[in-house]
Structure 1
Amino acid sequence: MTDSDDDYPYAARTEGFVVRVRPVFLDDQSDEADGKYLWGYEIRVENHGDVTAQLRSRHWIITDGNGMVQEVTGDGVVGEQPTLEPGEAFTYGSGCPLNTPTGFMAGRYQMVAEDGRAFEIDIPAFSLDSPYARRTLN
């Protein structure tokens, strides 16, 4: 596992797996005047346990700056259903559009171990903040 933990500001550990996230606001693909904001994110799934398992599906909960929630489910990630042996990692990138300049995402991956046991691992909640978001102090 070559990437530094410091490269990913968000992390969650479940069932011997660590999911790390690095979001980035894509200013050049966003348009404040049209209320369109886009983020990219890189996710790294690491198997620190002793069981080989396949990532079968995902469940995202995406919340925009107005509190509107969208749930997204689907098979695998970016068209793949990677199998991770102990000590292995899988990294992929994807994106998320919002109609507000801020929001957050969280979710879970559904995994299946070699012995057929199904379990879920957490995707940490991570913030989607653009330079257009209003900052307030209470």
Structure 2
Amino acid sequence: MVEQITKGIKISVKTKYNGTNYRNNRLFYTFAYIITIKNTSSNTVKLTDRFWKIYDSLNKTEIVSGEGVVGQTPILKPNDVYTYSSGCFLESNMGAMKGFYTMINLETYDQFKVYIPIFQLTTPVLLN
């Protein structure tokens, strides 16, 4: 698990290899990632947007951005925890992801970025 705290918002990431899958007659390696967001600050915040860089060891980089996460824009009061799961497809059996969430402090209406630490996506065979 990797963790990082930005402005009192703690991001924890766990990953899981989910095997292979075919899409459009091409083989992909599928990975799940579970993100836990904990508000350790004294302010109420709202996650509004996400930005991801997904790196494939075949030198491909995919950018994913948009509103919220998994269709939600969670509000976290102090000490609240929000967890969600998502996934990605890679053409190779090794890659990584990193990014940030855009959040708003609902007391001051200041916008800020919360960084998601880089985490590895690796098949179990490569871990031995």
Tell me, yes or no, whether TM beats 0.5.
yes
Cα drift, residue 35 of structure 1 = 3.0
The unaligned stretches of length 5 or more in structure 1 are 1-8
What is the distance in 1 between the residues matched to 2:31 and 2:10?
22
Secondary structure, in 3 states, of the residue corresponding to 1:26?
A: strand
The aligned amino acid for 1:126 is F
* 1:106 and 2:94 are equivalent in the alignment: no
Cα drift, residue 70 of structure 1 = 0.7
2:104, 2:110 within 8 Å by CA — same for their partners in 1?
yes
1:56, 1:81 within 8 Å by CA — same for their partners in 2?
yes
Q: How does 1:1-138 map to 2 (within 5 A)?
A: 9-27=1-19, 30-31=20-21, 34-114=26-106, 115-133=108-126
- Give the RMSD, CA atoms, in angstroms: 1.9
Cα drift, residue 134 of structure 1 = 8.7
Cα drift, residue 67 of structure 1 = 2.1
Cα drift, residue 132 of structure 1 = 4.9
Higher strand share: 2
Secondary structure, in 3 states, of the residue corresponding to 1:36?
A: strand
Count of aligned residue pairs for this structure pair: 125
The share of aligned pairs that are identical, in percent, is: 31
Runs of at least 4 residues of structure 1 off by over 4 A? 132-135
2:58, 2:91 within 8 Å by CA — same for their partners in 1?
no
Change (3 A) 1:101 1:49: same
The unaligned stretches of length 5 or more in structure 2 are none
TM-score (norm 2): 0.91
